[in-house]
Each structure stands twice: as structure tokens, then as C-alpha cells.
Amino acid sequence: MASQDSPVWLITGCSTGFGRELAKLVINRGWTVVVTGRDKARVQDLIAGAEDRAMALDLDVTNTGQIAAAVREAEARFGAIDVLVNNAGYGYQASVEEGVDAEIRSQFDANVFGLFALTRAVLPGMRNRRKGHILNVTSVAGFVGFPGSGYYAASKHAVEGWSDALAAEGGPLGIKVTCIEPGPFRTDWAGRSLVQTRSKIPDYNDTVTARMKGIVEVSGDQAGDPVRAGKIMIRITEIENPPRHLVLGAIGYHTVTKKLRAALTEIESWQETSVSADFPRA
């Protein structure tokens, strides 16, 4: 962490996108890092020339055996894991009505249960050392459910709520938690990390179908820069009081703040009804 010359990072999903750019930046800083991917051959190039302080590992976060092995190898070689970046995951889009059960469960296995399992494996070391920082890459969808993204949003909402509890439990033990909540970024997410079940119901043409088509069409032209995002992620691990929420990108920022303001306004407008649900005071 901030007090260490070379914190040890473990980053999931380093084959492409945020994970790959972040891994490059951490290595270029001269820090120690474990880069992982479902096929380590796709991330091996990242550690070239830095093998003394970096290693590549196979890690499918839905595989509990690989999780245990990766954490064991990382701690055995480098002594600790100071920063865990839960970046691995993917998107699934469908109308809520047409969601395919197997696809929904597969997404939750990667985005939610795999993230939970890896974090549980890393927590004992952080707790014993009374320090650590966990970065969970969620999404603007962790706050806002868009047409066609109900199940993806559900997975990210789950991580956000779980992270609140983790921060409350880990905070007194020196463990910090930040959710990274990107809006649209130029990571080829739509091309490589998105599964879609196309809607066949005409009633959803103007909502689900239009949004799913639009996401694919703008892929490669998003405003967000994954390198800038990686630099920001590094910066927040170096400060004493990092944010619990970090929305990235102007579109993400304006989307989330608009949603939260509207939600607060609505909740407050119903205050009298809300408090009337209690037993009357004597």
C-alpha cells in the first residue's frame, strides 16, 4: 500500500481491456504483480523482462481449485497480496422476459460468485497483516438498470451491495474497498465480453433491441480511455482514504449522479408514508 515501496498486486482478467492496461501500468511502475487469465499464455507477454517481480497464472474465477492455487502461489512467492483487483467478468444482455437461465447463471458464476470466492481466499492474508485494498470493477450498471441489461445490472448491483458489507467488516481491520464503476470505455467489451440473447418480441423493439444494437454499433468509439482509468486505479491505492465508489468517465458520472438524485428525491417525497409503517409511539 502507500507505505510500501512495492505493493503486491493480483489482477484478474488481464487478457484484454482494463485488466491488461492496468497490469502494464503496474509493471511499468516497478511494482510486483500477479497477472491472471483463463489461459496464461495470453498474459505471459505482460511479464516479459519483469520476471523477477511478476508472474502469470491460469485463473478462471469460476474454478475454485484454480482460485486456491493462484492465491497460494502468489503468497508463497511474494509473501503477500496487498491489492486485489477483481476485474474478470463479462456482460449478458437479453430482455428480462427472454433471459436464458443457463446464460444468467454462467454470468453470475463469473461476475458474482467467482469474485466472492477469490476475495474470500485473499482476505485471511490481508486480515492477518491488517492491510489491503480490494478493487471491484463493477459498472455504471451497478446503479442503473438499462433495457436489455437487467441480468448484467443484477450481477453488478450484487457486487455493490456485497462491497458495502465487506467495507464495513474490513475497514476496522485495515482493509479498504473500492468499487470501480466505468461507463462506456474503449475496451472492445461488446466484441469480446458480451453475450446477447436477441429479442424476438416486437414489443421490445424500441427498448431492448434498440439498446443492444446501439451498444454494438458504438464499440470502438467510446469516450473512456482504459489507460487513463488504470492510472486512476493506481492512484487511489496510494492514498490514505480512497473512495468507496469511483465512477469513471463523464457519461458514467452524469448517469449515476442523475439516477441517485432522482432516487433520493423520490424517497424523500414518500417520507410520511415510509415512517407511518412503524408502530405508533406511546
The residues annotated as belonging to the active site are 152
Report H helices in 43-177.
64-78, 101-108, 114-129, 150-170
* Pairing mode of beta strands 8-11, 83-86: parallel
- Taking the C-alpha atoms of residue 171 and residue 96, their distance in angstroms, rounded to an integer, is 36
Residues 230, 179, 34: CA angle, nearest 5 degrees = 50
The rounded distance, in Å, linking the Cα atoms of 265 and 242 is 27
Query: Do the beta carbons of residue 114 and residue 62 sit within 8 Å?
Result: yes
Look up residue 160 and give its three cell numbers: 455493490
Backbone angles phi, psi at 189, to 5 degrees: -55, -45
Give the Cβ contact number of residue 152 at 10 Å. Answer: 25
- Among left, alpha and beta (phi > 0; psi -120 to 50; other), residue 206 is alpha
Look up residue 144 and give its amino acid. Answer: V
Measured between alpha carbons, how far apart are the two ends of the chain, in Å? 53
Which are the contacts of 118, defined by CB distance < 8 A and separation ≥ 6? 12, 61, 67, 70, 71, 84, 86
